[in-house]
């Protein structure tokens, strides 16, 4: 799933099938934001990609 977002005035994507671990210490400042609708779509894509329960809930 490709999800458009706003990152430093550039178009960016979140690829739910390429999840990586990131230490919280590397998150020094806010880099951008996603709309509620985009967050919902991304959460659903992560459920599918990680084969977690709740994949078919609307």
Q: pLDDT tens digits for 34-51?
A: 889 888 988 898 898 888
- What is the structure's pLDDT at 8? 58
Residue found under tokens 């880099």: 31
Q: What is the pTM of this model?
A: 0.64
- What is the structure's pLDDT at 54? 86
- What is the structure's pLDDT at 19? 84
- What is the structure's pLDDT at 1? 45
Q: Is the pLDDT of residue 24 over 50?
A: yes
Residue 13, strand partner residues: 4
């Amino acid at each position: 799933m490709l999800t458009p977002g706003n990152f430093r005035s550039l178009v960016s994507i979140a690829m739910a099938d390429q999840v990586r671990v990131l230490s919280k210490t590397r998150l020094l400042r806010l880099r951008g934001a996603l709309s509620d609708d985009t967050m919902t779509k991304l959460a659903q894509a992560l459920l599918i990609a990680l084969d977690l329960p709740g994949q078919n809930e609307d």
